[in-house]
Structure 1
Amino acid sequence: MTGWTRRHCTCVEVRNLTYDEAAAALRVKRRWLEDNIRCLPHMKFGGQPAVFCHCDLRLIQAMRTVLPPEAQRVLDAPTTDDQHALTEMPTIRSLASIKPAQGRRRATAVT
Structure 2
Amino acid sequence: MNRRFTYPEAAAALRVEESWLRRHIKKLPHSKKGRVITFSEADLDAIDAMFHHTPTAGPLAVPASAAAGSHPLAGLRPLPQRGSLRSA
TM-score (structure 1 length as normaliser): 0.51
Q: What is the match of residue 66 of structure 1? A: 53
Larger Rg: 1
- How many residues align? The count is 67
CA gap 1:50/1:73 in 2 versus in 1, 3 angstroms: farther
TM-score computed with the length of structure 2 as normaliser: 0.63
Match status 1:78 vs 2:62: no
Residues in 2 aligned to 1:73 and 1:49: alpha-carbon distance in whole angstroms: 44
User: Deviations 1:44-95 (Å, cap 9, x if unpaired)?
Assistant: 112x2310011111111111111122546638x638x9xxxxxxxxxxxxxx
Q: Which residue of 2 aligns with 1:38?
A: 26
Q: Distance in 1 between matches of 2:37 and 2:64?
A: 38
CA RMSD, Structure 1 to Structure 2 (Å): 2.5
- Give the helix-richer structure, 1 or 2: 1
The structure richer in strand per residue is: 2
Gaps of 5+ in 1: 1-12, 82-111
Identity %: 42
